[in-house]
């Protein structure tokens, strides 16, 4: 998807000598602080997320054109289509221009990769899908602290799929914790690098299909290796600041199904850890974990308010 948009907007794949503007702003977003390929791709991915998850989670029913007018989403559209439509609308000053950009995208994608409907996964989220049963991802008799309620599984605009925990080791900063994150369920490690550990729960060996579990910010020292068969309670790694933005060592835990981040407070597939059910707050990183009558509130502190014992 990103390569298709890169080719469509600036010709980076086919043109060996893009213009100076195309080199600086290859996705066409000309704003301070967004120069260079990395920032442009991140901006594009975030905006694709907004459309995809906005439609999937029924929080977005229209998207804006560059002139400020809005286009209503067709009720039979899928989330991927809406993500592309919304993204292309950002640089379309009229509905007619949007239609032209959609056709250019279709032709570019087909030229590069073929017809996407030839390898579509439908339904992406089956009606019969069941959420995996997860345990708390740390050792028995330990107490950890909920510091981040439901928030983006990966970057701005993604589903509020993740929750954050810290150990009882106070004021670590970004020093690596000495305590272990442990496997919340059985499954095979299919990725372990740059602070990330992805665990494959359906054992097909592919991170993009079925249920996967992300353990984020795992320090490189002691991090579990690819191919390891984990059982509940096995060591995964030590909380750190590795992988993505972090200003303190912690565990960022999130689920995906067929590559889709699944909201922690999803009405059909809620995130439940050892009987503790995640609940949204009014903003990202706020929220709760609830078990029977006990409620723990996300907070950047070490207190009974957010303490969860295994």
**What are the domain boundaries of the chain?**
2-119, 143-309
pLDDT at res. 245: 87
Task: Specify whether the CB–CB gap between 4 and 105 falls below 8 A.
Answer: yes
pLDDT at res. 271: 99
- Does domain 143-309 sit in CATH 2.70.70.10? yes
pLDDT at res. 86: 99
What gap in Å lies between CA 290 and CA 292, rounded to an integer? 6
Task: Specify whether the CB–CB gap between 203 and 190 falls below 8 A.
Answer: no
Per-run averaged pLDDT (10 residues), the chain, 310 residues:
98 96 98 97 97 97 97 96 98 98 98 94 94 98 98 93 98 96 98 98 95 99 98 99 94 98 98 99 98 98 98
β-bridge pairing 272-273 and 276-280:
antiparallel
Backbone angles phi, psi at 294, to 5 degrees: -85, 135
What gap in Å lies between CA 84 and CA 260, rounded to an integer? 16
pLDDT at res. 155: 82
pLDDT at res. 217: 98
Whether omega for the bond prior to residue 165 falls within 30 degrees of 0, making it cis, is no
Check residue 243 and report its DSSP letter: S
Check residue 116 and report its DSSP letter: G
């Amino acid at each position: 998807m990103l390569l298709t948009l890169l080719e469509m907007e600036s010709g980076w794949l086919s043109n060996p000598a893009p213009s100076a503007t195309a080199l600086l702003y290859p996705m066409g977003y000309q704003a301070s602080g967004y120069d260079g390929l990395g920032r442009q791709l991140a901006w594009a991915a975030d905006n694709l997320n907004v459309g995809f998850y906005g439609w999937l989670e029924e929080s977005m029913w229209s998207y804006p054109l560059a002139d400020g007018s809005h286009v209503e989403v067709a009720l039979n559209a899928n989330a991927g289509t809406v993500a592309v439509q919304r993204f292309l609308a950002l640089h379309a000053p009229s509905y007619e221009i949007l239609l032209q950009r959609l056709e250019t995208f279709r032709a570019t994608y087909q030229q590069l990769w073929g017809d996407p409907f030839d390898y579509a996964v439908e339904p992406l989220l089956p009606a019969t899908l069941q959420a995996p049963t997860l345990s708390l991802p740390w050792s028995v008799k330990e107490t950890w602290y909920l510091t981040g309620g439901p928030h983006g599984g990966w970057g701005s605009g993604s589903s509020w799929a993740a929750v954050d925990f810290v150990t009882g080791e106070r004021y670590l900063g970004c020093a690596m914790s000495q305590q272990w994150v442990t496997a919340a369920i059985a499954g095979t490690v299919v990725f372990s690098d740059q602070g990330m550990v992805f665990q494959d729960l359906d054992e097909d060996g592919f991170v993009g299909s079925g249920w996967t579990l992300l353990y984020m910010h795992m320090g490189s020292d002691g991090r579990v290796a690819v191919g390891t068969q984990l059982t509940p309670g096995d060591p995964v790694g030590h909380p750190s600041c590795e992988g993505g933005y972090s200003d303190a060592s912690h565990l960022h835990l999130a689920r995906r199904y067929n590559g889709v981040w699944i909201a922690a407070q999803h009405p059909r597939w809620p995130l439940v850890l050892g009987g503790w059910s995640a609940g949204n707050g009014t903003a990202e990183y706020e929220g709760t974990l609830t078990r029977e009558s006990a409620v723990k509130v996300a907070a950047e502190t070490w207190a009974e308010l957010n303490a969860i014992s295994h």
